Amino acid sequence: MRDWGWLGILMMGIAGGVFAQEAEMTKLPIPQTEGGMPLMQALKQRHSTREFSPQAPPPQVLSDLLWAAAGVNRSATGQRTAPTARDWREIDVYVAMADGTYRFEPDSHALRRVLPRDIRALTGTQDFVAQAPVNLVYVANLDRMRDTTAEHQHLYSATDTGFIAQNVYLYCASAGLATVVRGSIDRETLATALGLGPSQRIILAQSVGYPLVGRR
């Protein structure tokens, strides 16, 4: 278990030996869900950027980014900022950063560490992905898409990912961050690195960071 230094210690999922192997969890700061840029202005600003400053976003920005992407916006039901077909909530957001690789847990608004190492370079085939401080990887868990056809699993996991990616685009526009959604991924290599199972499919990735000075 770890914290952000200033956040304090939060014990999660540790109940003696039974859960000793449970992955390390990092509670994110409470997301700031007020303010931001007016929506029409954010839509005007939305664009793709492929050059990133190496500066990592601070924990509050990471928290707000992930909440915008797929956080819980109705605590009574656990439903999210992005819609999902039949409320399957099948897209997991993996977060590849310099200090390791995590999976966003919307219900607890926490990061679960899945790998202790930097696999940013494996999240896409373009050179800039290794420098972007945050690479989100959108992974569909087909086991959650019950009572449907394989065709609909493909269709809806792709559309549901699109909503998340657009939420990220709009948050980035509002927060002055740079981003680009990406389909150019060696999915087999990345799935192996992430330790994904047979029911998990990488749909897209999205790089996020600050723009290089003088660029947007």
- Residues interacting with ligand FMN, by CB under 6 A? 47-48, 50, 126, 180-184, 204
Q: Is 211:49 a contact under the CB 8 Å cutoff?
A: yes
Strand partners, 200: 141
Q: How distant is the alpha carbon of residue 149 from its chain centre?
A: 26
Phi–psi pair at 191, nearest 5 degrees: -60, -40
Q: Tell me the closest approach of the beta carbon of residue 49 to ligand FMN, in angstroms.
A: 8
Smallest distance, ligand FMN to C-beta of residue 138, A: 10
Q: How far is the CB of 154 from ligand FMN (least distance, A)?
A: 14
Closest to ligand FMN by CB, 32 or 125: 125
- Smallest gap from Cβ 96 to ligand FMN, in A, equals 15
Q: Which is nearer to ligand FMN, 69 or 111 (CB)?
A: 69
Q: What is the DSSP letter of 204?
A: E
Compute and round to an integer the Cα radius of gyration of the chain. Answer: 17
Residue closer to ligand FMN, measured from CB, 26 or 207: 207
Select 81 or 135, whichever has its Cβ closest to ligand FMN. Answer: 135
Q: Which residues contact 66 (CB under 8 A, 6 or more apart)?
A: 28, 31, 93, 95, 104, 106, 109
Contact 179, 19 (CB under 8 A): no
